[in-house]
Amino acid sequence: MNLNDLIQKRQQLPPRILVYTIPGWGKSSLGASMPKPIFIDAEDGLMGLEVDSFPVAKTYEDIETYIRALIEESHDYKTVILDTTSSIEKLIWEKTCRANDKPNIESFGYAKGFMLAMTYWEKIISGLEILRSKGVAPVLLSHSEVRTFNSPVVDPYDRYVLKLHKHPANRLTEWCDNIFFGNHRVIIKKEGEGFSQKSKGIGQGERVIYTEERPAFLAKSRMELPFEIDIPKIDGWAAISQHINSKQEEN
């Protein structure tokens, strides 16, 4: 066997995307603007959106059933959207407790229940990877929360993170190619003079996506996207995809 026999060209697969935002930002509407989407809705949060969706998932088994149907049956969907990871986490915890005859996820003992729950997260990830190999982009929609980050080099500070237990949050952060943080643009205005000067945050509700990590939030991208992208309320994905398409044309 020679070197050429060992080298394989990597298949171009759809990106793995996670979008997490402040409350009321409109992450579901962003997902609805993605290419040929189908929602796996665990939150019943699609009111007012004309988009294809499975019935609202009430159990973890529903999630598995919907993913399996997309894997095994013929369709033309290009994006599968899980909405939201926080709601899916609750279904996973319920499944973990039912499978082990426990009243709640904390009754297993120190961290054991949360570790057992990762088995079901891995099954979901495995199913999404199969769909990805078939050309369907997996997209996870998530809530955010503010937590104190204890840095080893500076004093603790607050930052936006995924509203998930640390084990799935770390796993999904590692797995996804792109993590986008959605917020409203805020401009700091100085008022007053001298010791009476104050800073005031103002904004007009403009939606933005951040693609690179900063102390205030988690984000990343493997697409060489701009740090900040304005997201209109209508057809928001077009604002992101234009940068992706321009990079592909350059290559």
Q: Which domains does the chain have, with CATH numbers?
A: 12-250 (3.40.50)
Give the pLDDT mean for 161-170.
Answer: 96
197 to each of 95, 167, 191, 194, how far by Cα in Å?
A: 54, 43, 5, 6
The CA distance from 12 to 32, in Å, is 23
Q: What is the pLDDT of residue 223?
A: 84
Q: Which of 42-46, 62-66, 171-175, 198-202 has the lowest mean pLDDT?
A: 198-202
| Predicted pLDDT of residue 192 | 53
If pLDDT is split at 50, 70 and 90, which confidence band does 32 have?
very high
Give per-residue pLDDT as tens, 115-151. Answer: 999 999 999 999 999 999 999 999 999 999 999 988 8
* 222 phi and psi angles, rounded to 5 deg: -105, 20
Per DSSP, helices labelled H in 44-180 are 60-72, 85-100, 112-133, 166-175
The pLDDT value given to residue 200: 46
How high does pLDDT run on average in the chain? 89
Q: How many Å apart are CA 17 and CA 180, to the nearest integer? A: 8
Alpha helices for 73-162 (secondary structure H): 85-100, 112-133
Q: What residues are paired with 80 via a beta bridge?
A: 38, 138
9-37 mean pLDDT: 92
pLDDT average, residue stretch 181-204 = 61
pLDDT average, residue stretch 230-240 = 94
Share of the chain above pLDDT 90, in %: 73
**231 φ/ψ angles, rounded to the nearest 5 degrees:** -120, 110
Cis peptide before 211 (omega within 30 of 0): no
